[in-house]
Amino acid sequence: MQALFIVLGALAVLIPGLFIVSMFLPATVKVVRVRAIPASLSEVFDQVNVLRNWEKWSPWQQSDPMMKLSYNDKKSGEGAGYQWISRNRKIGRGSVTITASRPNKQITIEMHFMEKKVTKGYFRFEPSGRGTQVTWSMAMEVGRYPAGKIMGLMFDKWIGKDFERGLENLEKLVK
């Protein structure tokens, strides 16, 4: 009986504590990774701007080589997009669309995961002393609710590793 009171007491402190902490957490989470790639701006930009090229460097497609892809009619630049379906629960199904493309400067994308979560992101390309500095960024609304905000704390850890792997693959591809 005493153990039950201890557990209930701990929950009585933990649950309101998590709720209070979540009030101070952001409703939007962001992941950013940067990598210097020893290749020209145009080489790196083209690998990202042409969506079929993502098959060669995307960390998610390497996680599931059996992923089914279907592409829109537009192959590159603004309006280009594709949809995926994966049996891997981590990847699931979704789509990506290029919403803006400024040659050799920036590509803005919108991704839909599991047909629910919408993320907006970009790839920024800047000349660097050793080639091109690529910044890959993504932001996602996690909502006002405590559970979403607390899960948002893990977003950088979960997605950040994929971004790092993708940028590493991109570098290997253009070297």
Per residue in 115-144, pLDDT (tens digit) is 667 889 999 999 998 899 999 999 887 777
| CA pair distance 69, 16, nearest whole angstrom | 44
Per residue in 92-122, pLDDT (tens digit) is 899 999 999 999 999 999 999 876 678 899 9
At residue 26 the predicted structure's pLDDT band, cuts being 50, 70 and 90, is low
- What domains, with CATH codes, occur in the chain? 27-174 (3.30.530.20)
At residue 29 the predicted structure's pLDDT band, cuts being 50, 70 and 90, is confident
